[in-house]
Structure 1
Amino acid sequence: MSAARDWVDRTSGEAGAAPQAASPRASLASVEGPDSQQVDVAALMGEALELLEAARRIHGIEVKLELPEETVLARTGARRTRQVLLLLLSHAADHAGEGSVRLVLDAPDDFGDEPPRFQVVTSRARLSARELQAVFLSPMLVGPAHRRLARARELVESVGGTLGVERGDCEGLTVTVELPAPGLACW
């Protein structure tokens, strides 16, 4: 019984008169990280694709990845940006059918006029005008088919970016995400 009591005293921090060394406490700082930092968007795209392929989420769908030569940095949170990519790629996989998904990353310009942006183009996806309006109002107003798109919009806006959706007959659905620019590269 005394061994159990000693264990309870040690783990609860209510030890009697015996001083104990302070136990290290878990910190959320290591999990969360700062709200915004310089992240490599191309690396996050690769990680998101690998994760979805490992989970067999995009099995049987051709995903074309178009990346620039240079590293594309954005001033955003890595975790939220990864979530946005996972949501958009899952949405594209759900609506691609027999078509393909194209993921295009554009680098920012050197003067900060154009922020980094990426596009998810789903060739066979369709979105009605009513559904498109609901995506920009609230995820709760959208049906289950496009809820991931609405959640991605909320996450993009929470990191200071913008999400736009274009409907086309030939191209299907194009989702464009502009992320906060990393700052001026040269003056």
Structure 2
Amino acid sequence: MADTTDPEQTPTRTFAWEDMFVHPDDDPRSQDPYEGERATLTGYLRDQRLTLEVKCAGLDAEQMARRSVPPSNMSLLGLVRHLAGVEHAWFRKVLAGEQGQRPFRRPDDRDWDFDGAVGDAAAVEEAWRVWRQEVAFAERFAADAPSMDLTVEHDGQPLSLREVLVHMIEEYARHNGHADLLRERIDGRVGE
């Protein structure tokens, strides 16, 4: 079917610096080149984590829990809860070999990180507290590892710290794209 949309009738949006989360000159993410593989991977991951925080800055509990569009259960609060669980799973459980329940997950609802994200200030505070705790553990683990070649067995296959860091960069990058759209829908703020 041919597109019959008149381009002159399609609204376009222009963005001003005020619409952005942060002016590029004030961006807290690193602008300097990283030296070495570990610094590069942990630096890019740190920047992705900072991006999540920037995208959520200044929102109240209701806004953090606001769902995108039906039927999706995705929200910024759900993303924070989900990424806390992902940090926990990869760094604590897989790499460090610790036992324990993944945060924000229930045996009867694998999507509890999203399904349980409610517009309550205490729920938002808990999500950020757990996320920061898991990020701190992951940062210490990566800094203290003897090398990027530190390898564990996961699902019957060798898995290195390097692979986990690359996976985490990808995980955050994908979800930060979701966060861009969620935030724009909430208040019109956009990323660069």
Same fold, TM exceeding 0.5?
Answer: no
Q: Which has the larger radius of gyration?
A: 1
Please identify which structure carries the higher helix content. 2
| TM-score with structure 1 setting the length | 0.25
Please identify which structure carries the higher strand content. 1
